[in-house]
Chain A
Amino acid sequence: GAVVSQHPSWVICKSGTSVKIECRSLDFQATTMFWYRQFPKQSLMLMATSNEGSKATYEQGVEKDKFLINHASLTLSTLTVTSAHPEDSSFYICSARGDVSGGLKETQYFGPGTRLLVL
């Protein structure tokens, strides 16, 4: 099956610093990548959708200047949380959609997630 990796798996940082999270599709080309955020006991909330080589589309209420997304290649997307604050502490999950052999076209394949704790 399709494999999506995320790095780092967890990060603790001081308030005011920026944190970059990488999402990679390891065995397929991801035409579209998605970034989600999940707070404890809550659902995944879509933050933004990005297509390779174009600007990300952000969901309502998500600050694009705070959550910078770069989808520079068909296998890599990055999310940078700029000037992180404690309220940004969350579980950030990326997913990728692309042409996966034997897979459903509509399926998104999720990365393992990144736990961010801002002190």
Chain B
Amino acid sequence: RKEVEQDPGPFNVPEGATVAFNCTYSNSASQSFFWYRQDCRKEPKLLMSVYSSGNEDGRFTAQLNRASQYISLLIRDSKLSDSATYLCVVMFMAYDMRFGAGTRLTVKP
């Protein structure tokens, strides 16, 4: 079983749609969780951290369920500029980040 698993997609949605990505992780001792965004041929950029209480940043909402070892990202009112690959990242220790393979999102006009 992979350490971090994501649905690779691709997700093709129209502008304005709501889309959700899921991620599961295998190490129950994982401490920190993040969503990164990676544009084609570019480096990953931090989108948001994920907390047990859930957190929201504008149109983006992240949730963490430690019992189920599950992380989600919800994007509301999708924009064309949201098209990218979204990487689920799990940190076991301070120096140990593990990346999911990413979920590709394409938002169409």
Residue positions of A touching B, CB distance < 8 A: 32, 34, 36, 41-46, 49, 91, 93, 97, 104, 106-108, 110-113, 115
Secondary structure type dominating chain A contacts = strand
Which of B43, B49, B95, B101 has the most A CB atoms < 10 Å from its CB? B43
A contact residues around B107 at 8 Å (CB): none
A111–B87 alpha-carbon span in the complex (Å): 16
B contact residues around A115 at 8 Å (CB): 41
Q: Is the CB of B44 within 8 A of A97?
A: no
Q: Pick from B32, B34, B44, B46: contact of A44, CB below 8 A.
A: B44
Q: Is the CB of A49 within 8 A of B45?
A: no
13 contacts between A and B (CB under 8 A): A34-B95, A34-B97, A36-B99, A41-B101, A43-B87, A44-B44, A44-B99, A46-B97, A46-B98, A91-B41, A93-B44, A110-B44, A110-B45
